[in-house]
């Protein structure tokens, strides 16, 4: 990955080690932190934060876009959460991954994204290959202004399937991601490829 872009959060997901990013406080995050009184943010509060931040036109416009890879800016999320503004060139995606014990939310701020997810809770450890049962696949289109929240151990991939339009999204996770597991998939077979820790992307 090159500086300031490439494979990132994993909605999230998160940037890889060679990325460079800046932290940008937002009025939405300050308001959310104040409303939570310092307590851990709920899923609803994370979703409200990403929705309000996605409506911040000045912030969205400040994200540099690169036709060759994803770009991102680290944001000041509510209640100590980890938050990112991410740009997606046409045809890019995260690959399959989860967020360990973190809850999260993301919203499309420009363009459109597609999320494929699994309606199943994977074992936390001790496996390399799993065969998925029928009926666990879910897909949803997330047009500009649309988002979603998710609980712990949410397994998904996020894609910009457009052939010519960049997408931009806002993501938040709490607690800050302790690890990300990345998977490959062939048909019904899901394979654990690697586990990343914060040192790999901070």
Residue indicated by tokens 């973190």: 102
What is the C-alpha to C-alpha distance for residues 167 and 175, in angstroms, rounded to an integer? 26
pLDDT digits (tens, 9 = 90+) for 77-93: 999 999 999 999 999 99
In 155-196, where does DSSP find H-type helix? none
Beta strands in 70-145 (DSSP E): 71-76, 82-88, 96-97, 103-110, 112-118, 129-131, 137-143
User: How many residues can be counted in the chain?
Assistant: 202
Query: Is residue 177 pLDDT above 80, yes or no?
Result: yes
pTM: 0.81
């Amino acid at each position: 990955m090159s500086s300031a872009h490439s494979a990132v959060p994993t909605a999230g997901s998160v940037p890889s080690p060679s990325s460079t990013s800046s932290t940008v406080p937002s009025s939405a995050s300050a308001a959310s932190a104040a409303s939570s009184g310092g307590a851990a943010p709920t899923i609803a509060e994370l979703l409200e934060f990403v929705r309000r931040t996605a409506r911040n036109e000045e912030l969205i416009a400040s994200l540099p876009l690169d036709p060759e890879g994803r770009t991102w800016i680290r944001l000041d999320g509510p209640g100590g959460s980890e938050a990112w503004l991410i740009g997606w060139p046409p045809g890019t995606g995260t690959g399959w991954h989860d967020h360990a014990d973190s809850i999260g939310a993301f919203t499309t701020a420009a363009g459109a994204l597609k999320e494929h997810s699994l309606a199943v809770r994977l074992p936390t450890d001790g496996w390399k290959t799993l065969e998925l049962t029928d009926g666990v696949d879910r897909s949803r289109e997330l047009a500009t202004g649309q988002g979603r929240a998710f609980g712990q151990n949410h397994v998904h991939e996020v894609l910009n399937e457009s052939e010519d339009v960049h997408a931009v999204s806002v993501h938040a996770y709490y607690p800050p991601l302790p690890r990300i597991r990345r998977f490959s998939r062939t048909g019904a077979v899901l394979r654990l490829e690697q586990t990343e820790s914060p040192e790999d992307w901070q």
